[in-house]
Structure 1
Amino acid sequence: MRRATTLLTNMRRIIKLYDSMLKPVCEHYDLTLMETTIISFLYNNPGKDTAADIVELRMLAKSNVSQAVESLIQKSLLYRTQDTKDRRKIHLSLAEKTKPITQEIERVRERFRERVFQGFSEEEENLVVQFNKRIAENIKLEGERGENR
């Protein structure tokens, strides 16, 4: 297999593994994968608290995020607050009752990390993280170049 194919295949497998590990959380709390993803995002990204932040940083469809945010608000798991300086901007915050959900998501994330890095030394794991950051920077630069072409 070519390097690019292997890289893309591994990325998809990593995402599928993580999603499959999250499914029991979704089932336990009667949430969709998108709703669970939004709760996880808001929990792990303080200061990035708008639907636009979620769409941009997680590269998710705006319509899917909007639908899931509405559902979470209806379930009283999420609150909406209008920005005091820019009325068009709406901040999202997790309700206190999401705490058991976020704790379970954190346990899943740790098990996921352990599985993905099984057999890696701490130094090797740190190298993978560094390489991943460099890949992300290269992708971001390429995206910026594409916008300027």
Structure 2
Amino acid sequence: MTDNLTVATHIFDHSKKLGDAYEKVMQPLCKKLDMPQTALDVLMFLANNPGFDTAGDICRYRNIKAALVSFHVEKLVEAGFIERRAVEGDRRKCRLVCTEKAEPVIEEGRQMQKKFAHKLVDGFSEEDMEHFRKCIHIVSGNIDNILKGCL
């Protein structure tokens, strides 16, 4: 039986590999748009996560440094793909909203994400997928507990 340290190491190593594979799949769209990967990540995050629409949300959930988010948000605003809207009751915050101009990019990005997701689990049976979902759910809960300081 494999020890837990080896399993944890494999999960960590594969998380980096997963990110690299995702970037490779999205690269043709980045090239087509002449858009950096991080800018596309910001745009797709906003499109795919309604209600998580501030720069802080992007930093927190996509683990992108604030300066990078700020830079790419500015470029996306200048290009007309997103706009800033004031948050009522908090003048320090602004919502980032995808524009109509971004819709074709978002649609193409979502198609690429779907292909990536299908390829990622290619060869899994439905039973495998159910077991995999259960394992991911458990690992995710354990990560949440670690982040809360429950080690």
TM-score by length of 2: 0.90
Aligned positions, number? 147
Q: Which runs of 4+ in 1 moved over 3 A?
A: none
2:22 maps to which of 18, 23, 38: 18
Q: Which residue number in structure 2 is paired with residue 50 of structure 1?
A: 54
In structure 1, list runs of 5 or more residues that go unmatched: none
SS at 2:97 equivalent: strand
2:8 maps to which of 4, 10, 16: 4
Q: Which residue number in structure 1 is paired with residue 106 of structure 2?
A: 102
SS at 2:115 equivalent: helix
Q: Which residue number in structure 1 is paired with residue 133 of structure 2?
A: 129
Q: Which residue number in structure 1 is paired with residue 44 of structure 2?
A: 40
Please state how far the C-alpha of 1:89 moved relative to its aligned partner.
1.1
2:69 maps to which of 65, 70, 73: 65
1:117 maps to which of 114, 121, 140: 121
User: How many Å separate the matches in 1 of 2:32 and 2:106?
Assistant: 13
Please state how far the C-alpha of 1:129 moved relative to its aligned partner.
2.7
Please state how far the C-alpha of 1:134 moved relative to its aligned partner.
2.3
In structure 2, list runs of 5 or more residues that go unmatched: none
Q: Which residue number in structure 2 is paired with residue 86 of structure 1?
A: 90
Please state how far the C-alpha of 1:53 moved relative to its aligned partner.
0.6
CA RMSD of aligned residues (A): 1.7
SS at 1:49 equivalent: coil
AA paired with 1:132? I
User: How many Å separate the matches in 2 of 1:104 and 1:129?
Assistant: 26
